[in-house]
Amino acid sequence: MNTHSLKGETNVGKKKGAKYEQIIEAAVAVIARFGYHQAQVAKIAKEAGVADGTIYLYFTSKEDLLISLFEEKMGQFIETIRTRIQTKQTFEEKLLLLIQTHFEQLQANPQLAIVTQLELRQSNKELRKKINQILKGYLLLIDELIKEGQSSASVKQQLDSRLVRQMIFGTLDEVVTNWVMKDCKYDLVVQAKPIHQMLVSGISERLS
């Protein structure tokens, strides 16, 4: 579970430095502003204030830059969630905090939300595969949480944990995507509680 450390030394062997971050930030900004298909290397270089060729001193290819971007941003994203939910005891508290932290982080950085929810999904299969690889870290975190919940009898044990995870992640993803497509103009975090409630108790009105 140490594939992503808190300090971001994950890309061992990769040149780092001020420019490395600078280029990634430029990529996020350019993609958010112009869209995936209009985010040429030249534009990113200009935004970063470096020459086109300089990008290739820090990344082996444009694909590598995009993967690194996702890795970097998603790594922090996941670690923040992981750390925070450790402070909670029960499954339900942890799930709620996961949702809240998920939403908070994206709401705090709408540019990043645009990039990860909309733009990077337009990339080709190869890149998407690698992005999914990184996403897997998050999915595993959710899986753990679910299994923990089942162990402690907080989550119905007969449920397929994979399906549970798909429901949780699918729901969060869809909610965020809708928010981004509405130009991030309403409050996302406030929806954490009702969503948590739905996931936990379902949507059906039943006599109990």
Q: Which residues form the interface with DNA (CB under 7 A)?
A: 15, 17, 19, 37-42, 49-58, 61-63
Nearer to DNA, 16 or 162 (CB): 16
6 binds, among DNA, a second copy, none (CB under 5 to 8 A by kind): none
Which residues form the interface with a second copy (CB under 8 A)? Answer: 35-37, 92, 118, 121-125, 128, 132, 146, 149, 153-157, 159-160, 162-164, 166-167, 169-175, 178, 181, 191, 194-195, 198-206, 208
CB of 203 to a second copy, least distance (A): 5
**Shortest CA distance to 84 belongs to which of 103, 107, 101?**
101
190 CB burial (10 A radius; 0-12, 13-18, 19+): exposed
133 binds, among a second copy, DNA, none (CB under 5 to 8 A by kind): none
CA 89/CA 94 separation, integer angstroms: 7
Contact (Cβ atoms closer than 8 angstroms) between residue 110 and residue 31 = no
108 CB burial (10 A radius; 0-12, 13-18, 19+): exposed
CB of 6 to a second copy, least distance (A): 28
169 binds, among DNA, a second copy, none (CB under 5 to 8 A by kind): a second copy
3 binds, among DNA, a second copy, none (CB under 5 to 8 A by kind): none
Rg (CA), the chain: 19
CB of 60 to a second copy, least distance (A): 15
CB of 62 to DNA, least distance (A): 4
CB of 32 to DNA, least distance (A): 16
CA 101/CA 127 separation, integer angstroms: 26
Please give the structure tokens belonging to residue 155.
């989550």
Nearer to a second copy, 15 or 37 (CB): 37
**Shortest CA distance to 45 belongs to which of 19, 71, 69?**
19
